[in-house]
Amino acid sequence: MPSPDHYIPGVCNIGPAEIRRRMFSGWIGFIATLALAAVLFYYENPPIWRLLLFLPAFQAATGFLQGLYHFCLGFGFKAVFNFGEPGHLDSVTEAEFRKADRKKAQKILVESAIVGAAVALGTYFMPQ
C-alpha cells in the first residue's frame, strides 16, 4: 500500500520518515519480546513472569501498526500530523478531523493491547 503524501483525517497522519521510525520501534519491541521470552524460558521462571511479555509485545505491535496504518497514535491524540522532517508538526484545527484522529489512535491502542495480551497469555499457558 503506497503511503499518502498528505494528511487524511483518521487515516494517515505521518509521512515516510515517521513511518520508518514507527517500524523501527516495532522491530525493537519484537526483538525485546524474543529476548525476554528466551531469558524467561531458559531460566525456567514461574509462568507468572511471562506476563511481563505484554510490555515489549505491546510496544512491537504499536510500532508496527502505526507504520502499517501510516498513523501515529500520539499525534492522533495531540491533534498534529507530520509529512516532512521528523520533529516538524502541523496542527489539526477542525474538530471533526481531531475526532477521527482520536478514534483511529484508540483503535491502534486497543489492537496493540490485544496483541500484547495474546503474546503474554499465550506464553503463560505454554509448558515449561
In whole angstroms, give the CA distance from residue 60 to residue 66. Answer: 10
Q: Outline where the chain has alpha helix (H).
A: 16-42, 54-69, 73-78, 95-124
Please write the tens of the pLDDT for every residue from 11-48. 999 999 999 999 999 999 999 999 999 999 999 999 99
Does the pLDDT of residue 71 top 70, yes or no? yes
In whole angstroms, give the CA distance from residue 50 to residue 116. Answer: 11
pLDDT category at 2 given cuts 50, 70, 90 is low
Q: What is this structure's pTM?
A: 0.94
pLDDT (0 to 100) of residue 86: 84
Please write the tens of the pLDDT for every residue from 80-120. 999 988 888 999 999 999 999 999 999 999 999 999 999 99
In whole angstroms, give the CA distance from residue 113 to residue 62. Answer: 8
